[in-house]
Amino acid sequence: KAGVTQTPRYLIKTRGQQVTLSCSPISGHRSVSWYQQTPGQGLQFLFEYFSETQRNKGNFPGRFSGRQFSNSRSEMNVSTLELGDSALYLCASSKNPGTGGSYGYTFGSGTRLTVV
Amino acid sequence: EDQVTQSPEALRLQEGESSSLNCSYTVSGLRGLFWYRQDPGKGPEFLFTLYSAGEEKEKERLKATLTKKESFLHITAPKPEDSATYLCAVQRNTGFQKLVFGTGTRLLVSP
Spatial distance between the Cα atoms of B105 and A81, rounded to a whole number of angstroms: 30
Q: Is the pLDDT of residue A96 over 80?
A: no
Residue A106 to residue B46, Cβ atoms within 8 A:
yes
CA distance B9 to chain A (A): 12
Residues A52-79 pLDDT 10s: 999 889 999 999 999 999 999 999 999 9
Q: Check CB contact of A4 with chain B, cutoff 8 Å.
A: yes
DSSP letter (8 states) at residue A40: T
Q: Check CB contact of B57 with chain A, cutoff 8 Å.
A: no
Q: pLDDT > 90: what percent of chain B?
A: 86
pLDDT at A98: 64
pLDDT band for position B93 (50/70/90)? confident
pLDDT at A99: 61
pLDDT band for position B98 (50/70/90)? confident
Q: Is the pLDDT of residue B89 over 60?
A: yes
Residue B43 to residue A109, Cβ atoms within 8 A:
yes
CA distances from A93 to A4, A25, A32, A43, A47 (A): 7, 5, 5, 15, 12
Question: Which among A44, A56, A103 has the least Cβ separation from residue B96?
Answer: A56
Q: What is the chain A residue with the closest CA to B6?
A: A42
Find the helix or strand (DSSP H, E) in which A107 lies.
strand A106-107
Q: Is the pLDDT of residue B64 over 70?
A: yes
Q: Is the pLDDT of residue A100 over 60?
A: no
SS3 helix, strand, coil % of chain B, rounded to 5? 5, 60, 40
